[in-house]
Amino acid sequence: MVLGERLAVRYRSESGTPLISVTQVLTLAGRIDTTWFTPESALRGQIVHDLTEVFDRGDELIVPSGLEGYMDAYAEFLAIVKPVYSASELKVWNAALGLGGRIDRLCSSLFGMPGVLDFKTSDPAPWHGQQLSAYNVLRPTGARWACYLSKNGRYRLRAYNDPVDHQRFMYDLARTRGTVMADGDHWVAA
């Protein structure tokens, strides 16, 4: 983080203490290449996440033009894999670690095992395993999965089980300490 740059505080502990987010740690550590993230891709990802929740509730689904394929992929994923969700868009944090995040889906059963499931509207990236490992630190559940939804109506499911992901994330979290500090509602360079 460069001097003058500010990141929004997204999570707070129950006592109100600011918590750095999992993705902010990965970004500050240089694991996430933000040059490929456009406002349009971020909006697409958020809309698709919101639509999957609407779909799960069985509410009326109005899919914006151009996003139909992502929802077709999600419907196919549900029909084939049949995950059992215990929570959706679950905010999790660990005040001792100073860390917060949001799990897309907490599964009581994904292929018969509990786990964390994250949805992506992008291709797999090296940092995805570390992100899921961090969520597993915040809410220990077992298996770590990412479901890559594509605009062509297909999905890819990938298990992340490399134990080094956890070590890399914890190293990045430790490196982040001391480089940023909370200033009201923002993280700033320390």
State pTM to two decimals.
0.92
**What per-residue confidence (pLDDT) applies to 1?**
52
pLDDT in tens, 86-96: 999 999 999 99
In the predicted model, what is the mean pLDDT of residues 63-81?
Answer: 97
Which pair of structure tokens corresponds to residue 171? 């190293």
In the predicted model, what is the mean pLDDT of residues 58-85?
Answer: 97
Residue extents of the structural domains in the chain = 39-179
Sign of the torsion angle spanned by Cα atoms 120, 74, 50, 14: negative
pLDDT in tens, 50-68: 999 999 999 999 999 999 9
Could you give the residue ranges of the DSSP H alpha helices within the chain?
A: 22-28, 39-57, 68-81, 128-138, 164-176
Characterize the bridge pairing of strands 113-120 and 99-110: antiparallel
pLDDT in tens, 123-171: 999 999 999 999 999 999 889 999 999 999 999 999 999 999 999 999 9
Of the chain, the end-to-end C-alpha distance in Å amounts to 9
pLDDT in tens, 1-33: 555 567 888 899 899 989 999 999 998 898 988
Output phi, psi for 5, to 5 deg. -75, 145
Q: b vs e for 99-132, b when ≥16 Cβ sit within 10 Å of the residue's Cβ?
A: bbbbbbbbbeebeeeebbbbbbbeeebebbbbbb
